[in-house]
């Protein structure tokens, strides 16, 4: 069989299940913007169907979906360059998701660490949707024949499963139809850690608000959280090796590097030897300079929800024109009559 060459297409998604954090920004959105500017076709989704795998209050879900869209746009995603939309408006995601539920195996899902983390001790009481979450995620990506997916480190296992689903589908039906997607996990901040505990991921679900920087935080709040961030008593090293066992120090340097578009080595060449009493104010200035215009713009955009809804509607129309022919072809390969 001759191998089909797929044209580059980028897809990624974020759940509208709460506020955006600095982790979402540096690990995902900032890199979505870089890919948009690189000239390839880019689709960025608010994955509302994924969000409801755990309980969401309907009014909050609506608000969070609009706020996520505002965050995307405020951070530099341009609806005329990228396709911005919410997942539930493009029903092909759910339809292909069902087919992938029949391709993926129970054993694959049971190995997913995110399911284990989110279901916790009471896995019997988790929704069936939470268990099958990665099959829908594979559908999000493959319904566009996407070739590249920018995400943070925590999504690596889900992207491996996406490759397994594509491989098994192609093999079972004897086709070369779905591409084997490349994860793009790059940059200095693929795993931003909690400001209170350098061994834990920065997360919107952490009960402590001081553990994270929210994209809606104002300048004063950002400054306060960085000043209070946990550190150690030593001076900064001049090389990255010196940060190995220093989780909190490494996290703040990674954040500085990602916000200033430099490598960790370049940052340390500059700040090596400084105490945190000197480095933290530098980080405060940088973070406020880069993040507060985004939160201001988000607030402005949120004043006009109808305009956000219009953008999502238009993005969904554009997404459907790519997804629907791929869905039809999939049904045909599987043997469904379409009359």
By the criterion CB under 6 A, which residues form the site for ligand AMP?
14-15, 23-24, 27-28, 151-152, 154-155, 190-192, 201-202
Q: Which among ligand TRP, ligand AMP, none contacts residue 271 (Cβ within 5 to 8 A by kind)? A: none
Alpha-carbon gap, residue 87 to 91, rounded angstroms: 8
Q: Which among ligand AMP, ligand TRP, none contacts residue 202 (Cβ within 5 to 8 A by kind)? A: ligand AMP
- The verdict on 163 binding ligand TRP (CB under 6 A) reads no
Site track 201-240 with ligand TRP (rule: CB under 6 A), x = hit: ----------------------------------------
- Characterize 145-154 residue by residue with b for buried, 16 or more Cβ atoms within 10 angstroms of its Cβ, and e for exposed: bbbbbbbbeb
- Characterize 167-196 residue by residue with b for buried, 16 or more Cβ atoms within 10 angstroms of its Cβ, and e for exposed: ebbbeeeeeebbbebebbbebbbbebbbbb
Contact call for residues 9 and 172 (beta carbons, < 8 A): no
Indicate which single residue of 36, 64, 86, 155 sits in contact with ligand TRP (rule: CB under 6 A).
155
Residue placing its CB nearer to ligand AMP in the complex, 154 or 176: 154
CA distances from 194 to 13, 126, 212 (A): 22, 26, 6
Residue placing its CB nearer to ligand AMP in the complex, 152 or 315: 152
Q: Which residues are known catalytic residues?
A: 118, 201, 204
Alpha-carbon gap, residue 94 to 96, rounded angstroms: 6
Q: Which of 318, 302, 264 is nearest to 92 (CA)?
A: 318
Alpha-carbon gap, residue 79 to 100, rounded angstroms: 29
Q: What SS3 state is found at 271?
A: helix
Which pair of structure tokens corresponds to residue 299? 């607030």
Residue placing its CB nearer to ligand TRP in the complex, 11 or 25: 11
- The verdict on 112 binding ligand TRP (CB under 6 A) reads no
- The verdict on 9 binding ligand TRP (CB under 6 A) reads no
Q: Which range binds ligand TRP by CB under 6 A, 66-74, 148-156, 244-252, 309-317?
A: 148-156
Q: Which residues contribute to the site for ligand TRP (CB under 6 A)?
A: 11-15, 47, 50, 137, 140-141, 149, 151, 155, 158
């Amino acid at each position: 069989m001759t191998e089909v060459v797929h044209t580059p297409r980028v897809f990624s998604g974020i759940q509208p299940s709460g506020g955006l954090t600095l982790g979402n920004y540096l690990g995902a959105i900032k890199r979505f913007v870089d890919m948009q500017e690189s000239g390839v076709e880019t689709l960025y989704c608010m994955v509302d169907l994924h969000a409801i795998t755990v309980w969401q209050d309907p009014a909050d879900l609506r608000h969070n979906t609009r706020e996520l869209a505002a965050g995307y746009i405020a951070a530099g995603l341009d609806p005329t360059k990228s396709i911005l939309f919410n997942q539930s408006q493009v029903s092909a995601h759910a339809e292909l998701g069902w087919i992938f539920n029949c391709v993926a195996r129970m054993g694959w899902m049971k190995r997913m660490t995110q399911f284990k983390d989110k279901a916790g001790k009471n896995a019997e009481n988790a929704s069936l949707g939470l268990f099958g979450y990665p099959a829908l995620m594979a559908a999000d990506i493959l319904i566009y024949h996407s070739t590249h997916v920018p995400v943070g480190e925590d999504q690596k296992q889900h992207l491996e499963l996406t490759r397994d689903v594509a491989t098994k589908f192609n093999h079972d039906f004897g086709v070369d139809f779905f591409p084997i997607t490349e994860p793009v996990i790059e940059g200095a901040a693929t795993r931003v850690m909690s400001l209170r505990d350098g061994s834990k991921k920065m997360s919107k679900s952490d009960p402590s608000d001081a553990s994270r920087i929210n994209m809606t935080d104002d300048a004063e709040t950002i400054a306060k959280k960085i000043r209070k961030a946990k550190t150690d008593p030593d001076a900064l090293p001049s090389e990255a090796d010196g940060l190995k066992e220093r989780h909190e120090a490494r996290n703040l340097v990674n954040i500085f590097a990602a916000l200033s578009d430099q490598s960790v080595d370049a940052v340390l060449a500059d700040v090596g030897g400084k105490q945190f009493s000197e480095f933290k104010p530098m980080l405060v200035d940088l973070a406020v300079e880069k993040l507060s215009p985004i939160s201001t713009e988000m607030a402005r955009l949120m004043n006009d929800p109808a305009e956000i809804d219009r953008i999502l509607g238009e993005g969904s129309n554009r997404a459907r024109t790519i997804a629907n022919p791929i869905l039809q072809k999939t049904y045909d390969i599987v043997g469904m009559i379409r009359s």
